[in-house]
Structure 1
Amino acid sequence: MTNFIKDMAAKKIKQLSPDDLLHYSKQYGFSISKQQAEQITSYLKTSKADIFNNRQREKMFKDLAKITDAETARKAKKLFNELIRTYGLEHLFS
């Protein structure tokens, strides 16, 4: 069952639209621009990083900082962690 949930989560992240990301950022109390949302979702669609591996996830956020800026990467990381907590998925992330 864990692999099924991981596959679903990874697929959902790859399918995020900029509008989805903007919606989630507002829902969780911080703002990103449309351009930042586009940059983040573009990166997520092409990234091969295993989001369930802590080292690869941290590299992903560092890459996002290079593509966007450090503040946007920090916001993306905050949103990612909020979504993990909201859905009770902490146990899946090493």
Structure 2
Amino acid sequence: MNPIVQQMVNYKLNHLTIDELLELSKKYNVTITRVQAQKVIQILQREKVDIANLKQRQRILTTIGKETNPRLMKQIDMLLTQLL
């Protein structure tokens, strides 16, 4: 991934709002409720996200799966894959 694009994606993920996540989910046909979006945002805000760090991305997805449900984890993974 182009370093500039990667930096932009990281910035967006680190400053994402609930409404923006819901908008992105609609754009990429990912079903997510407002409550789920709020939980995902809370998880993302726990640490500075680096989209290129595969271990971190997997750890975040695992946390999403544990704190919400595995289905949502898969949907967020699809969304992150689209952003890449």
TM-score of the aligned structures, taking structure 2 as reference length: 0.84
Fraction of identical pairs, as percent: 28
2:6 — aligned with what? 6
Q: Which structure ranks higher in relative contact order (CA pairs < 8 Å, sequence separation ≥ 6)?
A: 2
Moved beyond 4 Å, runs of 4+: none
1:50 — aligned with what? 50
Gaps of 5+ in 1: 85-94
With over 3 angstroms needed to count, the CA separation of the structure-2 counterparts of 1:76 and 1:46, relative to structure 1, is same
Q: What is the total number of aligned residue pairs between the two structures? A: 83
CA RMSD in angstroms, aligned pairs only: 1.7
Looking at CA atoms only, which structure, 1 or 2, has the larger radius of gyration? 1
Asked if the contact 2:14–2:49 (Cα under 8 Å) also holds between the matched residues in 1, the reply is no
Amino acid at match of 1:17: T
TM-score of the aligned structures, taking structure 1 as reference length: 0.76
